[in-house]
A = this chain, B = another copy of it.
Amino acid sequence: MIGIGVIGYGYWGPNLVRNFSDVPGCDVVAVADRRPERRSLVGRRHPSVRTTVEAADVIADPRVDAVVIATPVSSHYDLASAALAAGKHVWVEKPIALNALEASRLVDQADRAGLTLHVDHTFAYTTAVRKIRELVVSDALGQIYYYDSVRVNLGLFQHDVDVIWDLAVHDLSIIDYVLPEKPVAVSATGMAHVPGEPENIAYITLFFESSLIAHVHVNWLAPVKVRRTLIGGDRRMVVYDDLEPSEKVKVYDKGITMRPGDESTYQMRVGYRTGDMWAPQLDVTEALRTEGVHFLECIAQGTASLTDGRAGLRVVEILEAASRSMRERGRVIDLEARRCAA
């Protein structure tokens, strides 16, 4: 039985505590939060769980085998590092850390200690994203041409991170999981509309070795909520709409064909073909449960998590580069160069 200690009982913490209470093979034994009303909420909901003010108490608790960190991103590095130093496995919310340097230190520290370091890239555990990955890996889509995501809504402005770190992190973790290549450069644009606040709208383009191109649009200030991704392959194309109650993933048997053009227009034409559309049935398993089970398996078997510290690092590298490019009005930032230099 794995003992779980949770640090942070704000927006996401309750879901984590509830989820680990349900997952077989583990027990939530302690929760830390500085806010008394959050601790008393834990007490009412989970009377048998220890509540503490200090994160250090959770980390030091001998019944705690794995520390789950659900605090603002600025504290991720210190808490995760302390937990690893105490010999605890770590589950940390996304993004893993404030910058690539912190992230890579955590990766190294976990490696040296032989501990599981898992980043909560939840979407990688949804049945929709797993189906998409399956379609990519099985070559059902053919060569991937583009990945285009829109993730906008009217949402709370974050204070400490811009909209890229808050929203695009989801898309970048899906891209990291789903696409066959890693990006080599990034160009981003965006704008801050509220003085003193970070950028609330952003557009990110990712370049790859091949002609694959990815684009992410995130916005805290949209009148409607949109969660829609288009993926174009030379064989089939996908529309993934996360707000659809069912049929989240639609596969279109569409594409282009080369054909001789109308001579009178003196051009060769790229034609297109259209075929059936197909929406595969998706399980209704909750992603967080799948992810919790996976985390425990990684701990038990000593295997790397699907979304381990390295995945967290790759995502943070792009987040850093994208934010920088955005502040320089789209100047392309080479990701490979930075990796080589690192």
Contact = CB atoms under 8 A, between A and B. Distances in A.
A338 interface: no
B223 A201 contact: no
Interface stretch (A61-69, A106-114, A263-271): A263-271
B203 A215 contact: yes
Mostly, the A contact residues are strand
Interface residues of A, number: 78
A157 B256 contact: yes
Contacts of A207: 189, 329
A148 interface: yes
A274 B281 contact: yes
A157 B270 contact: yes
Contact of A159 (B152, B193, B267): B267
Contacts of A221: 145-146, 232, 237, 256
A260 interface: no
Interface string A216-250: 01010111110000101010011100010111001
Nearest to A72: B265
Given A146-B191, A205-B203, A276-B280, A329 B185 contact: yes
Given A221-B232, A331-B331, A146 B253 contact: no
A222 B245 contact: no
Interface string A191-219: 11110010001010101000111010101
A252 interface: yes
B187 A211 contact: no
A226 to B, nearest CB: 8
A83 B140 CA distance: 53
24 contacts: A145-B191, A146-B193, A146-B201, A156-B270, A156-B272, A157-B256, A159-B261, A159-B268, A160-B267, A189-B207, A189-B213, A192-B211, A201-B213, A215-B217, A221-B237, A222-B232, A224-B230, A225-B245, A246-B277, A247-B277, A276-B278, A276-B281, A277-B279, A278-B279
